[in-house]
Every structure is written in C-alpha cells, then in structure tokens.
Structure 1
Amino acid sequence: AQAQNLFAPVARVNDGVITAYELSQRVAFLTLLKAPGNVRDLAMQQLVEERLKADVAKSMGISITPDKVKAGMAEFAGRANLTTDKFIQAIGQAGVAAETFRDFVSNGMIWREVVRARFASRVSVTDAEIDRALAEAKPERGVRVLLSEIMLPADNADNKRASMVRARELAKIDNEADFANAARVYSIASTRNEGGALDWKNLANLPAALRGQLARMQPGQVTSPIPAGERIALFQLREKQVLPNLAPGDLITEYAQYFLPGGRSQANLALARRIDDETDSCDGFLAFAKGAPEDQLVVESKPISQVPTEIALELAKLDPGEVSAEMTRNGGQTLVVLMLCGRSALPEESVSREQIRQQLANKRLVAMANAWLEELKADANIEYLRR
C-alpha cells in the first residue's frame, strides 16, 4: 500500500499527472542543493512548469540527444567538483535516484532549446544598449554619492505587493524633506529615525541595479523601486562628487553571513549586537560563530557585480569589520548577520562588445521565456490533489 501511495497523483497538469514519488524525489534533490524558501512548494512549482514545457517541446518536435544530456549532467556535477558517477553516488546516499538528476538536467536543456527556437530571431541588441551597459558596468573614477534610503517589507507575497504599490508612489518624491518624512513613516531600515540619511558612499561599492540609476540622476531624484531580497529599496540622491583621490573601479568583496533561526527576535538582535561589539574582523566573526551548523555560516568572495543586490546594498554601508543585522530570509524567519571582511581591486579584464551583446540578448530571452511560461500556466488545467 505504501508503494502504491508513492505513485498516487498529487497534481494534474492538462492530461498528465505528477506523482507523490516525483514530488518527494524533487524535494530531496532541492534540499541537497540547499534551495531557499519552502522547498516543497518550489518542487511542486518546478514539476508543474516542466510538464507544460515538455508539452510545448513535444508539439514543436524538439528533443536532445542522450550524449548532450550526459554532457549536461557532467557539467552540473562539475560545479561541485565531482564526476557524474561520484555526484550520482553522493545524491544516492540521500535517497535521490539518478533518474531524478537526469530529468532535472534534461528538462532544463530542452526548455532552453525551445526558447531559442521560439524567440531567438526576435531578439536584437543595439549598439546604444551595449554602450549603456558598458557605462553602467564601469563607474566613473572617483565618484561618491550622498544618499537617503527607504526600505519596505517584502517578506511575503502580500507585503511585497503592497510595498511595490507604495514604492511606486514614493518614487515620485522630488525633495529631501518629503523623502525624509516618508522614511520615518514607512521605512523598516535602522536609518528611519534619521530620515533614511546615509553617509557618503563610493559609487563603485554599490550594486549595478543602483549604480546604473544613480549615474543618470540629479540631486533630489529618487530611484525606481529595487527588489532586494525580502525588502524593496528606494534611494534618493542628495549629492554627487568627483574626487580624484577616491579609490576607483571594480572591487572584489569578501563577506560573511551568519543565519540565525527565529528572525528578528530580541535574543537574535541582542546576539547581533554582541557580535558587532566584540568583533572587528572576519576572523573574530568566524570564531564567534564557531560550532554553528555548516548551513548557518557562509563566507564568500566575489566581484561586487556578482553579489546579490540585497547583500550588496548592505555591504555598501559597511567598512571592513563592521556588522549589519538588517536582512532576513525565509519569510522573516531567519535573521542574517552580515560582516564585511574586506574589499580589494579586481584585475581589469577586457570585455568585448560581443560578450556584452550576448549577455543582454540572453537576459531578454529569459524575460520573454518567463512571460510565455506565465501564459502557458494561465491557459493550462492545473489541479492540486494533495497539499
């Protein structure tokens, strides 16, 4: 009976079904990959979307060869510095079948072929767009900016919708006094009592999502809303200066994150203050977190352009050795204690215009594919049988 239940349907997608076994396998696989958020909901979403994608691929006569699937599996396993066989052995110890891994990889590869076949001929990138992308990627030497911020809650779907509506209204503000008043009323950042005012920031330390907007703004103007993890950010430019002695250019940023279950509880906030008071380097930060489970502590070193926007926004406020406890994860259930370990110059690399063109084209393809997928879901007959 138990084996029979494994193959009972948990969802119907048009004329097909998703079984309890498929769902449990995908949940186990995503858990091994440390997928964020509600893993079961994510697994169900992926499986439903993959059914729709497979139907489209079949109708278009698109498939991929077994050799290409093997190559895709090898590339995926290589990200963990493992061969395909070693990767399959590792996931097998957690109860994940090799077929689950194969299907995960092949479904993604087939969908990419479908998207190229449908949209590639419609995507064009102009020279002006390439020029703009290059300008935004390379901030002007020696520019620093004086900003004010408003952070709005987006830790669940309802808050995200409400905050986006509010953010679009706040983005229309055109003077410092009104922005400061709005920050005191609406912002969840610790700067709200100061009207959102921040100290001078090196433009090169800011994430590209913000940097590109600031490059085109005049004092008094407000950015468009910037999604930043479980917050939505707005920034007002108060002043901009060019200083010849200011450190320029692209940076490698090293930072550490300590994840505390329980969100913004009094105990967690008190612990974050202790960490801030008692440590002034990443070595001290790591020593403080010694003994924590492996998945609660992460240290990374990346070019600022590759740091997630929500993290980069907080890092821009910090000097090396300083701590932030502004961010949360998992719908507010986990507090993120963030420390900036240091910044170093990134060796200059020549990026060709063709590489930029390809990046912009791929970004546009992804946007078109996502919009199409939403249409497919809206037109499909999807029924969830067991939640």
Structure 2
Amino acid sequence: MQQYLTYRHLASLTHRSLRVASRPAAAVLICAALLASPQPAPAQGLFSPAITVDDAVITHYELEQRARFMAVLRVPGDLMEAARKELINDRLKLVAMEEAGIAPSEDEITTGMTELAGRANLSLNEFLSTLQENGVDPETVRDFSRVGIGWRDLVSARFLARARPTEAEIDRAMGQAGSGSVQVLLSEIILPINEQNAPQVEDLAQQIAALTTRAAFAAAATQYSAAQSRERGGELNWMPLTKLPPQLQQVVLALSPGDITEPLPLQGAVALFQMRGLREVSGRAQRFAAIEYAAYYLPGGRSAATLAKAQEIIEGTDTCDDLYGVAKGQDPSVLDRVSLSPGEIDRDIAIELAKLDPGETSTAVTRNNGETLVLLRLCGRTAELGEGESRETVANALTAQRVESLSASYLEQLRADARIEDK
C-alpha cells in the first residue's frame, strides 16, 4: 500500500507545542509570557535532584528551565507542574529510545531546532539569542528537540504499520462502502473584521494561531469570538466531515488533534479552527448536491440594537417561509432565499450552515464591511453521493489519529511501570 502518512503528520505528534507566531506577534507573546515566568530558584541546590525516574535524575535547574521555556510558548496553567510532567515523560521516552537503538544525530537535532525557530520567522541564532537573553539556556531547547525527534522516530517504527488503514477502512471512512464515515470535533473562533480594525484583528488572529493548548484556544474564543459557540469556549459538536464547506474539508483533515488552522479570511471576518478529535462512525456519509438557505439583512452590523432585533425575529419565526412575513413591505433585497451547490456558497456562510439543522439560525455573518448583520437560516439540504475528499488525505488523517492514540497508550504504560519519586 502507498505510504499515506506524511512527515508533517508524524512531526505534529511531538512538535505540536512548538507552534509560535510570526515575528511581530512572537515578540509580543514572548514579552508577555516572560512577565509571568517562574522566578529563579536559589543558587544553592539548583542542580540537586528534584525528581528521580527509576535511575534517571531531574534537577531543580531542569524544572526551572522547562517552565521558563513553556512560558515563552504560552502554555497556560501551573508551569512548574506542567514542566514536571513533561520532564518525567522525557526521561521515559529517552529510556525507550535507548532500548530501541534510536539516537538522533546532531544534524537532526539542529534541524528540529531550526524548524522551531522558523515557526517564529526567526533564524536559529536569533531564536536562541532571544531565549537566552530571557533566561532559557540553548541546551534546554536542544534537549526538547532531541527527545521530540527521537520519540517521533520511535512511535513511527513501532506503530506506523499497525496504524495505516486498509483500503476497506478508507472506503468506510469516505462513506464509499456504505458502512462508515468520518466525523470531526472542532472548536472555532470567528473574529469580525473591517477597514478600521483590520491590523489589530490580523495580529490577534496570528497570536491565536500560535496557541498550543485547548484551554488557551477556549479562553480566546470566550473573549474574542463573535460566533454563538463562544459561550462554550468555541466548542462545536461532532459533525460529519461532509457538512463542512468543500474548501475547508482538506484543511481540517490535515490537522492533528490540538492543531489550529492558519487564519482563514472570510467576508467581514477571520476564522480559526482547532481540531479536538476525529473518529470513524458507522453509517454512510451524506453528501449534498444543494443547500437551501435564507439570508435576512439588518442594518447596524453587530450593534446591540441590531443583535436584539435579530433575536426578536429568531424567537418569532420557525421556518424560512416565516421570514417572508418579516420582510413584507420592505425592499426585496432585504431577503435572499437561494439553493446552491456546496462549492458555490461563500465560505463564511457555508461554515455557519454546516453547524445548523433545518430551521436553525446564525447571526455570525456580516456584510457591507461589517455594517449589515446577516440573519442566516438553513432551509434544507439535498443529499447526493460524491467523491469528496481524496483517499490520501483521509488515510493520512486516520493514520495520524491512530499513531497518536497508540503512542499515548504506550507512554502511559511506561509511566505506570516506572518508579517516580519527588525529592
């Protein structure tokens, strides 16, 4: 069988937390993070054991260094506790790597460090200098890269053959065998944008794209998103992949759990999605020949008064037909009702429709540079069978998900078998 799993999917299993922002945003994030960085421990005892993992030692210095490094990467929560967990895992991984005869070369380690620096649009020297100026030793980054690369190679060698889906499994995932399909679990952030706030929104979107945890993404969704899902930290329910706009399906399938898309430009907004999960389910995937929806346009954009008026209409109507009564006596242009193939629908509208059942409504979309609010209601979907996403893309997504699950179970077993003691 063709080797469907790409380097990007394997790398994402261990380098997901390496994502950082573009140069301007990275500088802002690093400065902000350092304000909350752990304070140095007293010199006395700095290199004394803090934790032992079987015969391996983790020093207080290593804990402090990893916590500082995690602060720069914007990891939320108790950084010392997070550093403790990561370093214990690293010791377990190093033993497993040694037993498997895996030892990344200096060139491979440097390549990994260079990739990390590149995600901040910095050269390796610039990146290491910035970290060193703020108390993070280059050796800390080198150790992080060495373990990440070695563990990636180990789980690839150990689990890749088991994780690759068969042709029949790919058929089921694509819904071609009539017995299975793919569903995705996403979180979203929708940021309204106009000519006045474009620079600020673009910078914010880059900072959100650089987040490394689900908790941080959820906090950003609650604070900044205009979508109704903000009340749930941006979390959407499981949905069939085929409900998403065709242009978004490939983007989503390229993500591993925890990954965040690059900012996606929409009309009047910027969208970001985080993958929380992917699963195969029984039942043929529905594909759609046409989607019918109604759009009622209200002046005033996302002002409190306009949103209140929209909510009034939603509560007073149930179907698309009911909107004709709302628009009665007004210019015909205030209401559109159309039926289009999924590929013909504007991406921002298609994204909202993917979340709706017939009769449900969204107020996340705007037009006219944010000055017009769109009350969007799904009228119905006409199903058909189609080719959908490519076999290779589906196979990559399934393989990455299985490798991640197998490697996580393996690490948990290593941890359960180890003797871990705090000093």
Q: TM-score, normalised by structure 1?
A: 0.51
Verify the 8 A CA contact 1:150 1:189 in the aligned structure 2.
yes
Question: Would you identify which runs of 4 or more consecutive aligned residues in structure 1 move more than 3 Å?
Answer: 346-350
Kindly tell me the number of residue pairs found equivalent between the two proteins.
211
Partner of 1:140: 174
Q: Hey, what's the Cα distance between the residues in 1 that align with 2:367 and 2:324?
A: 20
Name the aligned partner's letter for residue 182 of structure 2. Answer: V
Displacement of 1:259 in angstroms is 0.7
Q: Which residue of 1 aligns with 2:13?
A: none
Q: Does 1:228 align with 2:266?
A: yes
| SS of alignment partner, residue 300 of structure 1 | strand
Q: 1:278-297, aligned counterparts within 5 Å?
A: 278-297=316-335
For residue 241 of structure 1, give the secondary structure of its aligned residue in structure 2.
Answer: strand
Aligned to 2:351: 313
Matches of 1:222 and 1:266 in 2, distance apart? Answer: 30
CA contact (8 A) 2:263 2:272 kept: yes
Residue in 2 aligned with 1:330? 368
Cα distance in 1 between the residues matched to 2:381 and 2:332: 24
Q: CA offset at residue 140 of structure 1?
A: 2.7
Q: Per-residue displacement from partner, 1:199-245 (whole Å, max 9, x unpaired)?
A: 12221111133211111111111111111111100000101122121
Change beyond 3 A, Cα 1:274–1:160: same
Match of 1:150 in 2: 189
Equivalent AA in structure 2 for residue 162 of structure 1: Q
Which of 197, 207, 211 is matched with 1:159 structurally?
197
Determine the C-alpha separation between the residues in 2 that align with 1:347 and 1:299. Answer: 24
1:140–1:248 CA contact under 8 A, matched in 2: no
Verify the 8 A CA contact 1:258 1:337 in the aligned structure 2.
yes
Contact persistence 1:205–1:251 (CA under 8 A): no
What do you get for the CA RMSD once the two structures are aligned? 2.1
How far apart are the structure 2 equivalents of 1:213 and 1:140? 16
Q: How far apart in 2 are the matches of 1:348 and 1:204?
A: 10
Task: List aligned pairs for 1:90-129, cutoff 5 A.
Answer: none
**What SS class does the counterpart of residue 238 from structure 2 fall into?**
strand
Which ranges in structure 2 are unaligned for 5 or more consecutive residues? 1-172, 176-180, 389-423
Aligned-residue offset at 1:144: 1.5
**2:206 corresponds to 1:168:** yes
Q: Which amino acid aligns with 1:272?
A: A
Unaligned runs of at least 5 residues, structure 1 = 1-138, 351-387
Give the secondary-structure state (helix, strand or coil) at the position aligned to 2:282: coil
Q: Taking every aligned residue pair, what percent have the same amino acid on both sides? A: 43
CA apart distance, 1:289: 2.1
Q: Which residue of 2 is the match for residue 275 of structure 1?
A: 313
Deviations 1:33-57, CA, capped at 9 Å, x for gaps: xxxxxxxxxxxxxxxxxxxxxxxxx
8 Å Cα contact 1:279-1:321 kept in structure 2 = no
Secondary structure at the aligned position of 1:299 is classed as strand
Which letter does structure 1 place at the counterpart of 2:285? A
Distance 1:208 1:160 in 2: 27
Superposed, 1:177-256 pairs within 5 Å as: 177-256=215-294
Secondary structure at the counterpart of residue 370 of structure 2: coil
Give, in angstroms, the shift of residue 330 of structure 1: 1.3
Please point out which of 245, 261, 270 is paired with 2:299.
261
